[in-house]
Structure 1
Amino acid sequence: MKDLHSKLAFVQSLAPAVQSATDTGSAIDLQGFESAVVEIATGAIAGSGDFSYKLQESDTTTSGDFSDVAAADLQGTVPDTLEANSVYNQGYIGSKRYIRHVLTKNSGTSIAAGITVVKGHGDDNPQA
């Protein structure tokens, strides 16, 4: 059996909770890693909640420096509207040091959601 546990680092980008507003995550530093996957996990949707997700990137932690990640730098797709009780994974293959999520409330009441960033191919192992 191969040891994957020691080669990954996990960062909570959005704690699992009921989200009733747009949430822009904090900068996640990818320095020292060559890959990342973002996992979006959803639960119940209340009041016809319509939420969307996107990933942004930057070379700095300054909020105004972040821009949407180009489709060519993403692996996998996330639907325009997140569905209840689902898990989505999206790989990031861009070259920027920082990434962050944007969970946008388009309409409705709320969605239960959490977002985790999995950093891989680290320069130094073990990670855990």
Structure 2
Amino acid sequence: MRDLANNIGTVQAVASAVLSATNTSAALDLQGFESAAVVVNTGAIVSSGDFTAKLQESDTPTSGDFTDVAAEHLVGEFPASLAADSVVKVGYVGHKRYLRTVITKNGGTSIAAGVVLVKGNAHERPVA
């Protein structure tokens, strides 16, 4: 049986925290990997909060170059609104080198959330 942990890369996109405003992650580099998935982990939501998540892509790490990932480049979809105490995973099958996540505050007070990027199909294994 293969060991998964040594065959994937993981990057913390959003440190687990209470978010009270829209959060845009830094650029996440996929160089050296052929696949990716985003995992959003939520906790409590305060004051009927309405928060949404999306994935953006770019050929450069420049903030102004990012655009929303087209639905056909996602495996699965983000919910219309993030639920409390849940986990959402969405795969990426696009061809851009950089990704970033955006958690948007549409209403309410705050959400406890964190995001991890899981990178797969590494060019070199084991992955450090």
Instruction: Mark yes or no: TM-score above 0.5.
Output: yes
Give the total of aligned pairs: 128
Separation in 2, partners of 1:113, 1:32: 28
Q: What is aligned with 1:82? A: 82
Q: How does the TM-score come out when normalised to structure 1? A: 0.98
3-state DSSP of counterpart to 2:26: coil
Separation in 1, partners of 2:64, 2:120: 27
Q: What is the CA distance between 1:5 and its match in structure 2? A: 1.2
Moved over 4 A (4+): none
Q: How does the TM-score come out when normalised to structure 2? A: 0.98
Q: What is the CA distance between 1:92 and its match in structure 2? A: 0.4
Separation in 2, partners of 1:42, 1:3: 27
3-state DSSP of counterpart to 2:64: helix
Q: What is the CA distance between 1:62 and its match in structure 2? A: 0.7
- Within a 5 Å distance, the mapping from 1:1-128 to structure 2 comes to 1-128=1-128
Q: Which runs of 5+ in 1 are unaligned?
A: none
Q: RMSD of the alignment, in Å?
A: 0.6
Q: What is the CA distance between 1:3 and its match in structure 2? A: 1.3
Separation in 2, partners of 1:50, 1:80: 9
Q: What is the CA distance between 1:66 and its match in structure 2? A: 0.2
The residue type paired with residue 42 of structure 1 is T
3-state DSSP of counterpart to 2:99: strand
Separation in 2, partners of 1:50, 1:62: 28
Deviation string 1:18-58 (CA, Å, 9 cap, x unpaired) is: 10000011000001100001000000000111100000000
Q: Which runs of 5+ in 2 are unaligned?
A: none
